[in-house]
Amino acid sequence: MNDIQHRRGAGTALVAAGGVYFAAEFVAAAAWSDPAYSYTHHFISNLGVHGPLTAFGQYMYSPLAAVMNAGFFLLGVATLIGVSMLRGLPAGRRTALVTTAAVLAAGMVLVAAFPGSGDDGTTDFHGLGALLGFVSCNVLSVLLGRSHRFLGVSPTLGRALVLFGVLGLASIGAFAGTLASGAGILIGLAERGIIYPFLVGLILLGSTLLRPVRRDAEAPMAARTLRG
């Protein structure tokens, strides 16, 4: 597989990672009724809990919990595959990216395997997975953004990825503060502020990698690959 094929494979995996997550969340939320699922009030993880039960002050009943948990799992795995296929990176930078993506994948596997119902002693594993995922996805966004010149994407996209990561990390603080207050006001919106910018960034980056590489860009890319 040559560099162009790796680039397209990486782009496909990254677009799929974000797209599959959004699709899984939409389908699982649409199946939740009486009362309807709220994107601003309910935790994301509620969609992975079949229930019905009440935990953490919220009613949880997700008929298609398996769909959401599959989305969590595929997000982590597809992101790791996509990042692992990137070429043209210096060895140290590549190691940092792949390691961070692996942490994200591990976190998403924990989130999917241990739904956050709080009724079976697995909440700590779920919480650990969520924490790993929240931090690593935004660190990964920053690292990808700072690697834009090695990936052959525009500085504008690079800056956007860094900004998305910073916004996501800042949202962790907002989410934690809202959670600690016990008020629960817009807790779902605060949580989505952590992960949605990252997902949008994945799709934008993947879409860019899928575009044909200009002939005048092939030589610089080859030179970067040799240096990496």
C-alpha distance from residue 92 to each of 60, 70, 72, 89, 96 (Å): 43, 32, 28, 8, 6
DSSP character string of 120-150:
SS-HHHHHHHHHHHHHHHHHHHHHHHHTHHH
pLDDT, one tens digit per residue, over 150-170 is 999 999 999 999 999 999 999
User: DSSP assignment, residue 152?
Assistant: T
Provide the pLDDT for residue 218.
45
* Cα 170 from Cα 185, distance rounded (Å): 17
More confidently predicted of 79 and 182: 79
DSSP string, 2-60: -HHHHHHHHHHHHHHHHHHHHHHHHHHHHH-TTTTP-TTTS-GGGGG----EEETTEEE
Report pTM.
0.89
Q: Where does residue 118 fall: left (phi above 0), alpha (psi -120 to 50 degrees), or beta otherwise?
A: left
In a 10 Å sphere around its CB, with 0-12 CB exposed, 13-18 middle and 19+ buried, how is residue 163 labelled? middle
Range with the lowest mean pLDDT among 129-133, 162-166, 220-224? 220-224
